[in-house]
């Protein structure tokens, strides 16, 4: 599943955000995958050239967001830790981070929200009396925020007190910590952007894969975990709705469900408006996917991209067929690729006539790192 999402994303980068389907077919009449992003290909048609620095096999910002979640899960010893994920997200995409490339609206606003929350927490700590080392004060803030993200009520107080008692012996430090925790707990938590676009689902392939691999939590726990991850970058009811649709489809795919059952799992998780759009897409099975994509819209909103992706999954004969249909659909092909690639990769595996082509996997720029992370988490 994870490889499928990353391969589908990297395959689409070269023609990402070209909004003229006929132009895409002229550029690549047979094999639109793994084309070098070139400004000339974007001239004279509705388009946005977002990836001038990327090489063939590189990930768009969607694939990078999936990779950041994968790294966060590995760093947290194979569990989803919201605070750790938020910290890694901010460290990678934020000011001074390793990421160089296009930053979407949701990521920009999320980074601003995380910064404002951290600034508020540090200001709160500064307002409390403390004569110790400023580095200790900052460490206590980090410790408190980590506990606040994990616990509530009496459990929060007990876990934090135990951590402070273990690491700090100075009475003044312990008194400061006791004053700090309720002050920080009262600060409204940081959330993601009010955004309903496809970046919301980019982190789901690694997250859902881990949840399934570690024993399939109860339905309520699964839904809560997915909602937490979605909300960190996309705090919008439409994002929550479609996020659960996509996560439910991915979970069903990992449990070896048939394609119709996978789609039914997503349909069962959908709200009324998203369910109506999915039903509409499925009634168009006799039409090619590029026409369906044009019908719903080629742009980045989830109500455009997810119905198109579901139609693609329902009608494609193989992983390669689905990836190529997605690219020929135009517009935000990398966004749709995260669902299409994840599900089709899980359904068809690697190799053979229907699975992920091994030569495509070899083209991934991040293949070596991903192989190591997958080994750590799943073997």
pTM for this structure? Answer: 0.89
- Which of 185, 219, 236 is the C-terminal boundary of a domain? 185
Angle of helix 289-296 relative to helix 319-328, nearest 10 degrees? 40
Claim to verify: residue 50 and residue 98 sit in the same structural domain: yes
- Is 141 in a helix, a strand, or coil? helix
Domain span at 152? 105-185
Q: What is the CATH number of the domain that holds 215?
A: 1.10.4080.10
Within this chain, do residues 136 and 240 fall inside the same structural domain, yes or no?
Answer: no
Extract the tokens encoding 344: 């089709």
**pLDDT tens-digit readout, 187-221:** 988 789 999 999 999 999 999 999 999 986 688 89
Same structural domain for residues 254 and 309?
yes
Asked whether residue 192 is assigned to any structural domain, the reply reads no
In a domain, 293, yes or no: yes
Q: Is residue 190 part of a domain?
A: no
Q: Does residue 237 sit in the same domain as residue 352?
A: yes
Per-residue model confidence (pLDDT) at position 18: 98
Does a structural domain hold residue 140?
yes
Determine contact, residues 278/308, Cβ cutoff 8 Å. Answer: no
Query: Into how many domains does the chain fold?
Result: 2
- Residue 120 half-sphere exposure toward CB, CA atoms < 13 A: 15
- Together in a domain, 99 and 222: yes
Question: Does 253 lie in the same domain as 177?
Answer: no
Residues 352 and 274 reside in one and the same domain: yes
Identify whether 122 is part of a domain: yes
Within-domain flag for 191: no
Of the candidates 135, 156, 185, which is a domain's last residue?
Answer: 185
pLDDT digits (tens, 9 = 90+) for 85-127: 988 999 999 988 889 899 998 999 999 998 898 899 999 999 9
* One domain, residues 220 and 231: yes
Model confidence over 299-336: pLDDT tens digits?
A: 999 999 999 999 999 999 999 999 999 999 999 999 99
Compute the residue count for the chain.
379
Residues 320, 213, single domain; the answer is: yes
Helix axes 272-282 and 302-315, enclosed angle (nearest 10): 40
Q: Are residues 115 and 218 in the same domain?
A: no
Out of 185, 214, 245, pick the residue that ends a domain. Answer: 185
Examine the domain organization and report whether 80 and 14 are in the same domain. Answer: yes
Whether 237 and 354 map to the same domain: the answer is yes
Q: Residue 161 domain-assigned?
A: yes
């Amino acid at each position: 599943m994870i490889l499928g999402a990353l391969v589908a994303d990297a395959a689409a980068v070269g023609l990402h955000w070209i909004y003229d389907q006929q132009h895409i077919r002229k550029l690549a009449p047979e094999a639109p995958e793994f084309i070098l992003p070139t400004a000339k290909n974007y001239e004279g048609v509705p388009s946005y050239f977002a990836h001038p620095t990327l090489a063939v096999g590189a990930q768009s910002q969607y694939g990078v967001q999936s990779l950041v979640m994968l790294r966060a899960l590995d760093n947290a010893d194979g569990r989803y830790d919201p605070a750790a994920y938020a910290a890694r997200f901010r460290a990678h995409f934020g000011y001074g981070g390793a990421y160089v490339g296009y930053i979407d609206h949701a990521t920009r606003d999320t980074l601003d929200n995380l910064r404002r929350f951290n600034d508020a927490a540090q200001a709160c700590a500064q307002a409390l009396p403390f004569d110790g080392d400023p580095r200790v004060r900052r460490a206590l803030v980090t410790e408190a925020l980590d506990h606040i993200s994990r616990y509530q009520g009496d459990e929060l107080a007990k876990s934090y007190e135990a951590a402070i008692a273990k690491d700090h012996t100075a009475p003044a430090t312990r008194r400061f910590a006791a004053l700090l925790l309720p002050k920080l707990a009262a600060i409204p938590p940081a959330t993601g952007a009010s955004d309903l676009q496809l970046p919301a689902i980019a982190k789901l392939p690694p997250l859902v894969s881990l949840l399934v691999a570690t024993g399939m939590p109860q339905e309520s726990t699964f839904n809560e975990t997915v909602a937490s991850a979605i909300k960190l970058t996309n705090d919008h009811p439409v994002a929550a709705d479609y996020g659960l649709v996509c996560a439910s489809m991915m979970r069903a795919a990992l449990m070896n469900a048939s394609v119709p059952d996978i789609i039914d799992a997503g349909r069962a998780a959908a709200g009324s408006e998203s369910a109506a759009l999915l039903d509409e897409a499925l009634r168009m099975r006799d039409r090619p996917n590029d026409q369906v994509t044009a019908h719903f819209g080629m742009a980045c909103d989830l109500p455009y991209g997810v119905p198109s992706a579901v139609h693609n999954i329902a009608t494609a004969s193989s992983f390669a067929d689905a990836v190529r249909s997605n690219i020929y659909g135009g517009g935000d092909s990398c966004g749709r690729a995260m669902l299409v690639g994840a599900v089709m990769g899980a359904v068809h595996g690697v190799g053979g006539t229907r699975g992920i082509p091994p030569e495509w996997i070899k083209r991934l720029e991040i293949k070596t790192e991903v192989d190591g992370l997958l080994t750590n988490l799943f073997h």
